[in-house]
Chain A
């Protein structure tokens, strides 16, 4: 009898911790998404400029006769901040195929996440501005098959390295990395020329 009345007395109170933890979980998930948007927003332009700067620096070193592996190692030693100071990025020095491949990477990341995350939208806008290229003028930009089978294999080793760097960056920008995205990223890595 005591147990029964105790349960009867406690039963209405069970809802309190459930509602409280539900609220906490909801708040945590929302704030995680907010943090992703706010923090990535600040570094999208910086990281993009850094990647483009590193690509340009690597191209110069390759032209100067330095081996690619050594050049990549050197660029890793240099911090991203140093690379991002490289203001004089020249989009005309980059091939049209390379520019298209970078935009395709972001488009494929959008298709993989099945939504237009604001960070990816801003990345696309920034790339459009830096590469002087209109994405809507490229036919089949969001076609993953074209990207994997035609675009990536046709790139040089250095270009593949930069495009895969952009892919890794774009995939992490929405704060979530699903299993299918990991599998597809691995497929892209296999499709590219080994660095």
Chain B
């Protein structure tokens, strides 16, 4: 019974903490906060009185798939795997199409700008005046950047939608939300949006144990450098004196690729 009490209390504390973190319950009014906590422990409070194995079977009978005491899935039917694969491949093809559309639009804008707002170069053939540069930027690159942002948003929205579809096909119940389901959906969303995995100490396990500090710092610097490089690629083109740094074609292609890739 001591073990049962320990496990229940640990689980309860863990779930309430998770709820606090995930839903930011602390910022809510006291009544809402209490209600949310009650909702979490509602299902567990009744089960605490009974034997742990009975509780386990009860949860199985309810058909809960994604909680700690879930049913035992050891394999998936080929049709489920096929549906998931098809769903993923369709999404990949859609993302490819978004790329074609976005890059095509960028090229189109550039062509239109060239035809309608021709830029006259200086006699030395290396650069052009600041006013022309800004006009060129506004007409050519601003729509391209806008299209690129739009493309990124559409891609991540599509990935998110596909991720939730995959979860649904796999049989995960994400709604109505409880702390563990919220945890599941959050981890799927984090994967879909490339938010990375936590490296903090949990359950007494430090994922970065034994890692060299030098390598960790280098990784941090590389991560920061990625953002800095994209900023540099955009900034290097805008002020007129810096336009001398790179050739026009080089800068154009770099800017286009930076908008598309980053």
Contact yes or no, B208 A114, CB < 8 A: yes
Contact yes or no, A81 B75, CB < 8 A: yes
Classify the interface of chain A: helix, strand, loop or mixed. Answer: helix
A141 with B205: in contact, given A24-B99, A41-B172, A46-B73 (CB under 8 Å)? yes
Interface size class of B (residues with CB under 8 A): 35 or more
Give the residue of B53, B93, B103, B162 whose beta carbon is less than 8 angstroms from that of A88.
B53
A87 with B56: in contact, given A35-B88, A114-B211, A124-B203 (CB under 8 Å)? yes
Contact yes or no, B68 A129, CB < 8 A: yes
Give the residue of A18, A50, A116 whose beta carbon is less than 8 angstroms from that of B257.
A18
- Which chain B residues border A15 with CB–CB below 8 Å? 103, 106-107, 253, 256-257, 260
Give the residue of B3, B66, B84, B98 whose beta carbon is less than 8 angstroms from that of A39.
B84
Bound state CA distance, A85 and B73, in angstroms?
11
- Which chain A residues border B93 with CB–CB below 8 Å? 24
A33 with B191: in contact, given A38-B166, A88-B53, A117-B197 (CB under 8 Å)? yes
Give the residue of A46, A50, A114, A144 whose beta carbon is less than 8 angstroms from that of B207.
A114
What are some 22 contacts across the A-B interface (CB < 8 A)? A12-B110, A16-B107, A19-B99, A23-B96, A23-B151, A23-B155, A27-B95, A28-B92, A30-B192, A31-B91, A41-B172, A42-B65, A45-B72, A45-B73, A81-B75, A115-B196, A115-B207, A118-B183, A125-B68, A129-B68, A132-B7, A142-B204
State the A residues within 8 Å of B (CB): 11-13, 15-24, 26-28, 30-35, 37-39, 41-43, 45-47, 49-50, 80-81, 84-85, 87-88, 107, 110-111, 113-118, 121-122, 124-126, 128-129, 132, 134-138, 141-144
State the B residues within 8 Å of A (CB): 3-4, 6-7, 10-11, 14, 53, 56-57, 65-66, 68-76, 84, 88, 91-100, 102-104, 106-107, 110-111, 151, 155, 158-159, 162-163, 166-167, 170-172, 183-184, 187-188, 190-192, 194, 196-200, 202-211, 249, 253, 256-257, 260-261
